[in-house]
Amino acid sequence: MSQQLFDVTNKTALITGSSQGIGFALARGLAAAGAAVVLNGRDTKKLADAATVLSAEDATVHLLAFDATDHDAVRVAVDGFERDTGPIDILVNNAGMQFRTPLEDFPADMFGKLLATNVSSVFNVGQAVARHMIGRGAGKIINIASVQTSLARPGIAPYTATKGAVGNLTKGMATDWAQHGLQCNAIAPGYFDTPLNAALVADPDFSAWLEKRTPAGRWGKVEELVGACIFLASAASGFVNGQTIYVDGGITASL
């Protein structure tokens, strides 16, 4: 019975921004749990390379290249996949970016780009996929939030704003779509060793600070996000809606 609760066999999962980092790790984890995965990104070469790795592990892999910030392009791509290939049962909204500089010097164009990449993409892909899920009366949407959904740190105020918005958009999705059989939740990673954090990982002073600040005393490994994702993607979370699950080594729990 417990295994059936977490079973995602014969489900299809679309993961945005999945050619590397957290997105790739979640795609790999879902594939290992039995789901077919749809890799997404804008760089077709990186997507093909990621697909090669997963295919060698006997995963069922589809590629769906589109710009998640382009509402019309997203709608065309998602509708085309649903028509030609089959239903998307699980959506992981992972596409995101970071830009670090003091708030008083933050370029306006980069603020707009952060909003588009980190927030509009969640709306665009979430809406396009949910329209099909609503018709079927079932679906799982998992948005990737951040420890910055709750906390701020110097130099990343706009990023913090976007991730706060992802947390609240997740609540809004659940409020509108739970009645149609959808579960919409978020995973909020703490500090993980990913390409997005490469500059921080390479900074010994920051790593030393992080190890002291995090009760677990270390950077997270992307594979440690997979369990939460499978929980939220499976029947085990059938009455979980609008929640943000922090996978952060305890950093949001302690001073």
Query: In angstroms, rounded to a whole number, what is the distance separating the alpha carbons of residues 90 and 206?
Result: 35
Query: In angstroms, rounded to a whole number, what is the distance separating the alpha carbons of residues 137 and 144?
Result: 23
Beta strands in the chain (DSSP E): 12-15, 36-39, 61-63, 90-93, 139-144, 182-189, 244-247
Catalytic residue status for 159: yes
Catalytic residue among 24, 81, 159, 231: 159
Query: In angstroms, rounded to a whole number, what is the distance separating the alpha carbons of residues 237 and 88?
Result: 18
CA terminus-to-terminus distance, the chain: 39
**Structural contact between residues 189 and 146, judged by C-beta atoms closer than 8 angstroms:** yes
Query: In angstroms, rounded to a whole number, what is the distance separating the alpha carbons of residues 27 and 11?
Result: 12
Catalytically annotated residues? 159
